[in-house]
Amino acid sequence: MKLIYDIQDRPDLKHLIVYGLQQVMAVLSATVAIPMMVGHGCDPAAALFGAGLGTLCYAFFTKKKSPVFLSSSGAFVGSMLTAFAGAATIELGYLGLIIGALIAGFMYCAMAIAVKFTGTEWISKLIPPVVIGPTVAIIGLDLAAYAISIFAGQGYWGLLCGLIAMFVTVYFSTHGTKEIRLIPFLIGITAGYVVAIGLTLAGIPLVEIEHRALFSMPDFTFIKAFGAFGQLTPSYILTLFVAYAPVTFVALAEHIADHTNVSNIIGHDLLKDPGLHRTLVGDGVGSIVGAFFGGMPNTTYGESVACVAITRNASVMTIIVAAIECMILSFCGPLMAIIAAIPACVMGAVSILLYGFIAASGLNILSQVDLTDTRNSMVAAVILICGVGGLTVSIGPVTLTSVACALILGILTNKIIHLK
């Protein structure tokens, strides 16, 4: 893919602000949805701040060589709910969120040390393209039902607004000028939003903007957790370890899959430069920082990757500006209210493109594999069917998602097929 902006390119400031805002829009829906799913008073604004600061940490540890945005991880929702369920008080639950992220972050860093001294050859053998390709596709397809549910959840008029947002995005991403092709999502979301506002004024309620103070301090997790250290017990720490450690292994595999996908999109192997050990440390530290402020461990976001692919803007400075904008937005009540009021149907329509592009990227990786070889076809078949079929496995407080199950079974199938 020919990029408009490569990794080290630096667009001028006025363009960076716009490009960064588009990245924010791409990741916003899932970023604020995760703390709302966890509940217990977790603040979406704090999660947004944690995502921004976590991404800046990632950019630092990767030497600004990886155009990846980190944000709230859905993989850890069950772990976070366990942190509250096992806590004697709500304050201890918040402290549990931080300790859980520390467990995950340290595991990332331990993996990074192992990779630093052993290299990445064994990872390439463990997760070859025949495994990575369909797994990346499943990451996108696994989100399809969510995208459709919010796209079609506001009736016929909502569907109209969503279709306008989608088709405007598609048109300008393919027919716009060079500058316009860099911001198709921003234009599409704005178009759908404006139509929804017009319909609301005409008596069809699709938009509701709540009143918020000009400046509002997010409810940071570390403040809520302050004073709960005296309530910690060995059994609670063990509960957190059991809840977070297994999920971390799954998140590690998805980390590798996401970075392999980005590498294919931008034509630069991020596993070698800046190196997998650096991306792992960046992700681990980013998760710790994200949870310290927002309660949510962070992860690489496929929506951001898809945005890079569709706009062909791989500038790391765009990611950095987006991270700073997230942090600023978290304090600005009116702007958060305006963004939060974007109709679900509009965000759902855009999500169809984002999630679909993730799936298409995975299929592109898979297309490089010889599927006339029965062994390769079997590996791809296991991953695709388990993933699309929604296979999940619950072991105590830990639930392996369909992506995790598909990946694990794909690796095992590949190993069995190649036994000598």
Top pLDDT among 126 and 13 is at 13
Given a cut of 90, whether residue 78 has pLDDT beyond it is no
- In a domain? residue 417: no
Given a cut of 80, whether residue 36 has pLDDT beyond it is no
- In a domain? residue 400: no
- Reported as a single tens digit per residue, the pLDDT across 195-204 is 999 999 999 9
Of 134, 143, 145, 27, give the one whose Cα is nearest residue 361: 134
- In a domain? residue 207: yes
Helix (H) or strand (E) holding 394, with range, is strand 393-395
Given a cut of 60, whether residue 329 has pLDDT beyond it is yes
Task: Please compute the mean of the pLDDT values over residues 212-228 and round it to a whole number.
Answer: 86
Task: Please compute the mean of the pLDDT values over residues 257-280 and round it to a whole number.
Answer: 91
- Under the banding of pLDDT at 50, 70 and 90, the label for residue 397 is low
Question: What pLDDT was estimated at residue 399?
Answer: 66
Given a cut of 70, whether residue 37 has pLDDT beyond it is no
Question: What pLDDT was estimated at residue 398?
Answer: 61
Residue with tokens 């992860």: 299
Task: Please compute the mean of the pLDDT values over residues 250-259 and round it to a whole number.
Answer: 81
Given a cut of 90, whether residue 64 has pLDDT beyond it is yes
Report d(CA 379, CA 371) in Å as an integer.
Answer: 10
- In a domain? residue 391: no
Amino acid at 249: F
Question: What pLDDT was estimated at residue 56?
Answer: 97
- In a domain? residue 250: yes
Question: How many domains does the chain contain in total?
Answer: 1
Conformational region of residue 394, where left means phi above 0, alpha means psi within -120 to 50, and beta covers everything else: beta
Report d(CA 300, CA 282) in Å as an integer.
Answer: 10
- CA torsion sign, 154 to 155 to 158 to 163? positive
Across 14-23, 228-237, 246-255, least confident range: 246-255
Of the ranges 29-43, 114-128, 304-318, which is most confident?
304-318
Given a cut of 80, whether residue 249 has pLDDT beyond it is no
- In a domain? residue 140: yes
Given a cut of 70, whether residue 295 has pLDDT beyond it is yes
- In a domain? residue 68: yes
Instruction: Say if strands 398-400 and 70-72 run parallel, antiparallel, or are unpaired.
Output: unpaired
Three-class DSSP labels, 125-141: HHCCHHHHHHHHHHHHH
What's the domain range around 45?
Answer: 13-364
Given a cut of 90, whether residue 209 has pLDDT beyond it is no
- In a domain? residue 5: no
